[in-house]
A and B are shown apart, each in its own frame.
Chain A
Amino acid sequence: MTKKPMKRNLRNNLVGWSFLSIWAIGFILFMAYPLILSFYYSLSKVTLSGEGIIVDFIWFENYRQIFSSAAGFSFLQSVRDFAFEILFKVPIITVFAIIIAVLLNQKMKLRGLFRAVYFLPVIIASGPVINQLISQGAATIPLVEESGLIDLINSTFTESLAKPIANIFSELIVILWVSGVQILVFIAALQKIDRSTYEAAMIDGAGPWESFWKITMPALKSMVTVSIIFTIINLATFSENDAILHIKNNMFALDTGFGFSSAVAWIYFIALALILGVAMFAIRLFTKDKVRR
């Protein structure tokens, strides 16, 4: 009898790793080396010349520079701004996506058409059109900028707070554009719920509010995590993100170069990991008393 759990444990390990094996082989083949090399570059002075790549190992000099040079300082500032931006955007996007997903999951006329329209941001936001849209001003509300709302915000809040708040108003429609994926993820999760569950709950006297918190939210709960991770990383690695621009611009800059740029990327990685960690902690705190299975 004591032998059985051991055997089961071993079997669990073997079967689990067999499911995981393709990913593991892929990671070793395609990912491990580039990641390690990029980390090595971050500890080096890298010169890209006609003859190839010249690498001088200089320990943590690049990292020291991030915290002591002007280029590094402006990067750190953009990370701080990004963290503030996230603080406002992530909750708005998540709540918005949940509401739209629930509405689109209802029985309604022309549901197929509506869902097709709400898939458009998924196509457009990841394509070349989005940059065109933003540059042409189709993605911002001119009204918001003209009405003096921005000035009002600037005068009421401190500088570090006013900027992200003003951004949110001027980027309200941009927020709509980056919510497409999250909406679809939530719709997918809603497919797990059988409509008769709602009917049964209604017969038992549950109102729509209760049904939402007791039936809908538990099904969506796990996807909230996915949605938040996606939102953060999607915004963080967006090609026009300030921090990403720092990484790109420093790559071929004469004074800083590829090594410095790699170090910046690794610091950015650590910053993002911290932001994610805080977000996960917040979700846990929030869902603990709100949604109970």
Chain B
Amino acid sequence: MMRITTKQKIKHILIGKNPSEGLIGRIAIYGLLIIIGFVYLYPLIKMFVYSIKDLEDLVNPTVDWIPTKLYLENYRTSWIVLNYGKTLFFSLLVTLVPAIFQTITTSLTGYALAKFKMRGRVIVFGLILMTYLVPSQVYMIPKFVLFDKFGILESAWSIILPASFGQGLSSAIFILIFYQFFRMQPIALDESAEIDGANPYQIFMRIGVPLALPAYLTSFLFSFVWYWNETYISSLFLGTNLYTLQLRLFNFSSQFSLAQGLSQQAVNEAIKYSATILIILPVLVVYIIMQKWFVEGIDRTGVTGE
């Protein structure tokens, strides 16, 4: 008897009630997540290691993963070249603002398509997909001409306005995410609220929005990251006087020679990598803050016995 129970005990520890709870399952899961995680971390680690190398370490072939000393001068240099303080502010202006408004507008659009069977719905769907499918390169010049007529070129408005009206970067995918999220919400909740006398806008604010919180978070995050990383539209619309951090990184070498007091130095990989890390950092911070808002079981509210 004793033997069987130890055997069962071992089996319980190794496999568990549920494969993902046993030791073997745990090791497999963590192993997989760590290996893939390493693939994602690898370039970041490599960039970081390079970014703290001085010139000597950089040319020394025996120094690979561990620099001989912590050299932070590269960060100081790229901070100056990127004009970080000032550029960060402008970058946030053309990233945070479009991201917030794009999220709000696309959620309204997704809600309309999910909850109301109005006329022209199919056409709207087709147009939304069309704006997503047609390669943007081809309508950029017509857009440029149009924005010139509106007089919004070379200002932050050329980025903020289209985004606020749901015509921004990848707006279509956000509309689709919201559409699917709102469609999954139980109609019973809306109906009972309607019986209680709530109007459609109150139902949207009190039931629709809270239940779609994860969709809002992910959409905002994607929108934020994509606007942050964007250089094609911004280089075209912002002109030559306004710079985002990514644009400065894009033109790093020429910016470098323009920056004062650095003329005796040459650009090297280490400095470029430190600049890249400085640009990735704000996005990571935003993600880590937002991540806490992911809450499980948002559908717990109300409906039973469906």
What is A's interface to B at a CB cutoff of 8 Å?
A: 12-13, 15-17, 19-20, 22-27, 29-31, 33-35, 37-38, 41, 100, 103-106, 108, 112, 114-124, 126-129, 133, 138, 173, 176-177, 181, 184-185, 187-196, 202, 207-208, 219, 222-223, 225-226, 229-230, 233, 236-237, 239, 244, 247-248, 251, 258, 261-262, 265-266, 268-269, 272-273, 276
Asked if A192 and B214 sit within 8 Å, CB to CB, the answer is yes
Docked-complex contact B20 and A237, CB < 8 angstroms: no
Option from A13, A193, A226 in Cβ contact (under 8 Å) with B180: A226
Contacts A120-B40, A123-B280 known; A128 to B249 CB distance under 8 Å? yes
Any chain A CB within 8 A of the CB of B33?
A: yes
B43 near A: Cβ within 8 Å? yes
Residues of chain B with a CB closer than 8 A to A123's CB = 225, 229, 280, 283-284, 287
Question: Is B18 an interface residue, CB under 8 A from the partner?
Answer: yes
B266, CB-defined interface residue at 8 Å: no
Instruction: Tell me if A's interface is mostly helix, strand, loop or mixed.
Output: helix
Asked whether A22 lies within 8 Å of B165 as measured between CB atoms, the reply is yes
**Complex Cα distance A29/B131, Å?**
13
Interface-central residue, B141, B164, B221, by most chain A CB under 10 Å? B141
CA distance A41 to B29 in the complex (A): 54
Chain A nearest CB, measured from B224 CB (Å) = 10
List 11 A-B pairs, Cβ < 8 Å.
Answer: A15-B116, A17-B112, A34-B142, A38-B139, A116-B284, A116-B288, A122-B225, A127-B279, A187-B214, A192-B299, A229-B173
In the bound complex, residues from chain B placing their C-beta under 8 Å from that of A37 are 139, 142, 145
Q: What residues of B have a CB within 8 angstroms of the CB of A121 in the complex?
A: 40
> Which residues of B are found within 8 Å of A23, using beta-carbon distances?
105-106, 108-109, 112, 124, 128, 165-167, 175
A138 and B127: CB pair below 8 A? Answer: no
The one of B111, B138, B164, B229 that contacts A19, using a Cβ cutoff of 8 Å? B111
- Check B135 for interface membership: any CB of A closer than 8 A: yes
**Interface assignment of B222: CB less than 8 Å from any CB of chain A:** yes
B7 proximity list for chain A (CB < 8 A): none
Known: A26-B105, A123-B284, A187-B294. Is A38-B229 also a contact (CB below 8 A)?
no
Say how far B165's CB is from chain A's closest CB, in angstroms. 2
The SS class assigned to the B binding surface is helix
User: Cβ of A26 and Cβ of B167 under 8 Å apart?
Assistant: yes
A262 and B138 in contact, given A27-B167, A103-B29 (Cβ under 8 angstroms): yes
Complex-state Cα separation, A267 to B116, whole angstroms: 33
Known contacts A33-B142, A34-B146, A123-B280; A269/B116 CB under 8 A: no
- Residues on B with C-beta less than 8 A from A127 are 229, 246, 279-280
The smallest beta-carbon distance between B114 and chain A, in angstroms, is 10
Report, nearest first, the 7 A-B pairs whose CB atoms are least far apart: A26-B165, A16-B116, A19-B112, A16-B118, A194-B297, A265-B138, A188-B214
**Across-interface contacts of A262 in B (CB, < 8 A):** 138
Interface bits B99-128 vs A (CB < 8 Å: 1, else 0): 000000110110111011111010010011
Closest to A208 in B: B18
Task: Please tell me if B151 contacts chain A, counting CB pairs below 8 Å.
Answer: no
Q: Are A38 and B118 in contact (CB under 8 A)?
A: no
Known: A12-B118, A184-B218. A237 touches B109 (CB 8 A): no
Question: A258–B141 Cα gap in the complex (Å)?
Answer: 10
Contact with A along B192-235 (1 / 0, CB 8 A): 00000000100010000001011101100110011001011000
